[in-house]
Chains A and B, each alone.
Chain A
Amino acid sequence: MLSIKNLQVKLEDEDKQILKGVDLEIKGGEVHAIMGPNGSGKSTLSYVLSGKGGYEVTGGSAALEGVDLLEMEPEERAAAGLFLAFQYPVEIPGVGNMTFLRTAVNAQRKARGEEEMSAAEFLKVVRARAKDLKIDADMLKRPVNMGFSGGEKKRNEILQMAMLEPKMCILDETDSGLDVDAMKLVSEGVNALRSEGRGFLVITHYQRLLDHIKPDVVHIMSDGRIIKTGGPDLALEVENNGYADILAEVV
């Protein structure tokens, strides 16, 4: 599904290398987790994969189902099936949440040569998915993420994911700022989407989320590299001992 080889990335405007050779192989149906200290490059990886500006790829490759991601525009990557749930979802004054969702769904359909969703069908699907995530009608009407609490913003990300049905989902600290109930809602939302043909990359600091979304593989990232890969136990180890031991072990 997602194949990243020796990916190296620096800031465009600064001589600062952030990713120093990342390798990652995620198959359809798998859930991978990336953990790691703040500033290790986790968000940068997710941004570079989804095409955000300001970064320069200095080496390596990233492909989705064999297609080079790095050459594509952000919207092409989205149409190809890549989705990023943002660590900090963006507020957009003046653009209604519904309009935003509909624009996204139909733009992707159009890009894939599929028919647009009718207004009625769209409404029906949105309402059902929103209900599962306890997103009320008012939140759907309001401008995108404006005045949303931290938890509401994260649920809104999952709603977008559910509507877009991507092949490869990257969740960047979707659990931060969530209380226990919201965490459950979000996890259920994610688990409902788990399927053979879909891959997940879950970036998190906490084992807590991984109790709900059970990963197949756990990676530890530090200073722009994946320094250790293991099973779900690795997350427990981090939870109990922090990163210090693992970092020491590698050095």
Chain B
Amino acid sequence: MADAVAKTDPTEAMIAARSMPKGTWVQPLREDALARLRAMGLPQRRDEYWKYTRPDTLTQADAPLAAVLEADEAPMFADVDCLQIVFVDGEFDSEASDDLNLEGITIERLATSDTDLHWAKNLYGVLETRGQSPVARPLAALNTAFATDGILIHVTGKPSKPVNLTYHHKSESSDAILHHCIKLDAGAEMTLLENGPAAARFNKVLEVEVGDDASFHHIRTQGRDHERRAATHIFARLGTQSAFRSFTMTVNGVLTRNECVIELTGDDAIANVAGACVGDGEFLHDDTVFITHDAVNCQSRQVFKKVLRNGATGIFQGKILVKAGAQKTDGYQISQSLLLDGDSQFLAKPELEIYADDVACSHGSTSGAIDEDALFYLRSRGAPEAEATNLLTLAFLAEAVDEIEHEDLREDITNRLGAWLQRHRG
């Protein structure tokens, strides 16, 4: 009977294809998530929220194969003094990882966390559940139910260095599901780095509870493997006077869907989400952002830049929801694409929904080619066309990259984008 259903229903097929890892405190949370997943079903092509991105390869039971890219440049963040945690195709690599000890934080693995008095009980799947309304995010529920591992970080102070999650991709058929939870106590601060393609197909959820006066920085890069697929979710809830800053660089990847769901629940909080992506050929990159203002005098910024060529597709779905009472909200959203040829396309759906009267919200979305006047100006000074184009392209991306506060990381990211442009010139 179950098999028969599985054959016709992709959700049941997906569930049948994996087994729920055993755990202690996490077990009921996983069961809840499974029930949620069954109730909503995996995304389908006709779903409004998946209008631009075909979910098929993310929802089929087995991951489509993805060739492994031979590394030809230094790993990302190699020069950054950080606590390194390594996953290979979604499996924790204890050899390559540092000891999970850092002053000001406690770090544990989801797979080995067995105490029943665990703080993450109030976070794991909790923000994800909140984020299921008003729009369903079934891939996140799937993740909560079946994540094989993840990192649980409780930040009590101000650790001296970032935590760096490195995701290697070594098997062309790997199908990884990781779920991280981070809780920042009042006044705490941390920087999380993430890098690497992770797997042939990667489903990742990051839940972040940012306490009052706490500050969370997040910088991630998603690897260069052309054929890899990723569906990621960030769920964050922000307390009073807290700050959340997240930047993502995406270079290549046949399919990327990055969802970011942020709730500003304490007054005077700040949320910045930014992304810079570059794609050439078979590349679909989807940023889907939902920011809810539910407190007074909060600021949110969304800055997304996409450089597309040779038929690459960029998608942006971004919403600012200002609830009744969320006065003095300052919401800003910009999504722009630079199309380096006529084949590429950018599809954007910016939305504002406002129920308070004293707010300042703006949004803008543009799509265009290289500015011919600027290009001629540069060439008339001697810069060859390709070099001039790259300079203007980096300048276009800079507005998103500039959202990164750490200067060294900003430079590092800029250099990587520059190197990509060198490899993919006209």
> Which of A's residues lie within 8 Å of B, judged by CB?
50-53, 73-75, 77-79, 83-84, 86, 89-95, 99-100, 103-105, 107-108, 111, 143-144, 160, 164
Contacts and interface: CB of A to CB of B under 8 A. Distances in A.
Interface string B374-388: 101111111111011
Contact of A107 (B382, B395, B396): B382
B376 A104 contact: no
Contacts of A108: 381-382
Given A74-B380, A78-B379, A103-B378, A92 B385 contact: no
A78 B395 contact: no
B250 to A, nearest CB: 20
Interface in B381-404: 381-385, 387-388, 391-392, 394-396, 398-399
A147 to B, nearest CB: 15
A95 B376 contact: no
| Among A52, A103, A105, residue most surrounded by chain B Cβ atoms (within 10 Å) | A103
A100 B382 contact: no
Contacts of B379: 51, 73-75, 78
Contacts of B373: 90
Contacts of A78: 379-382
Contacts of A53: 372, 376
A103 B392 contact: no
B240 to A, nearest CB: 35
Nearest to A79: B382
29 contacts: A51-B376, A52-B380, A73-B379, A73-B384, A75-B379, A75-B385, A77-B380, A78-B382, A79-B382, A83-B380, A90-B373, A92-B371, A92-B374, A92-B377, A92-B392, A93-B395, A94-B398, A94-B399, A100-B378, A100-B381, A103-B378, A103-B381, A104-B381, A104-B382, A105-B382, A107-B382, A107-B387, A108-B381, A111-B384
Contacts of B374: 90-92
| Among B376, B387, B392, residue most surrounded by chain A Cβ atoms (within 10 Å) | B376
A52 B381 contact: no
A103 B381 CA distance: 9
A72 B99 CA distance: 61
Given A51-B379, A75-B379, A99 B385 contact: no
Contacts of B395: 92-95, 143
Given A94-B399, A107-B384, A52 B378 contact: no
A52 B391 contact: no
| Among A51, A92, A108, residue most surrounded by chain B Cβ atoms (within 10 Å) | A92
A99 B394 CA distance: 12
Given A92-B392, A95-B391, A95-B395, A50 B383 contact: no
A49 B372 CA distance: 17
Nearest to B399: A94
Interface of B: 371-374, 376-385, 387-388, 391-392, 394-396, 398-399
Contacts of A91: 374
A94 B373 CA distance: 15
Contacts of A84: 380
Contacts of B376: 51-53, 74, 90
B399 to A, nearest CB: 7
A152 to B, nearest CB: 16
A196 B377 CA distance: 27
Contacts of B377: 86, 89-90, 92, 144
A73 B378 CA distance: 12
Would you list the 6 A-B pairs with minimal beta carbon distance, nearest first? Answer: A94-B395, A104-B381, A108-B382, A78-B382, A74-B379, A90-B377
A104 B383 contact: yes
A94 B393 CA distance: 9
A53 B379 CA distance: 12
B334 to A, nearest CB: 13
A107 B392 contact: no
Given A51-B379, A75-B382, A92-B377, A103 B396 contact: no
B24 to A, nearest CB: 52
Contacts of A92: 371, 374, 377-378, 392, 395
Contacts of A52: 376, 380
| Among B376, B380, B381, B395, residue most surrounded by chain A Cβ atoms (within 10 Å) | B381
Given A94-B394, A99-B391, A107 B399 contact: no
| Among A51, A74, A143, A164, residue most surrounded by chain B Cβ atoms (within 10 Å) | A74
Nearest to A106: B382
A90 B381 CA distance: 12
B347 to A, nearest CB: 24
A91 B378 CA distance: 11
A94 B383 contact: no
Contacts of A107: 381-384, 387
Contacts of B384: 73, 75, 107, 111
A95 B377 CA distance: 12
A92 B376 CA distance: 11
A224 B384 CA distance: 31
Nearest to B379: A74
Contact of B396 (A51, A83, A94, A105): A94
A140 to B, nearest CB: 15
A99 B391 CA distance: 9
B386 to A, nearest CB: 10
Contacts of B394: 94
Contacts of A73: 379, 384-385
A194 to B, nearest CB: 21
Given A95-B392, A103-B391, A164 B381 contact: yes
A86 to B, nearest CB: 7
| Among B380, B383, B388, residue most surrounded by chain A Cβ atoms (within 10 Å) | B380
Contacts of B391: 95, 99-100, 103
Nearest to B384: A75
B372 A75 contact: no
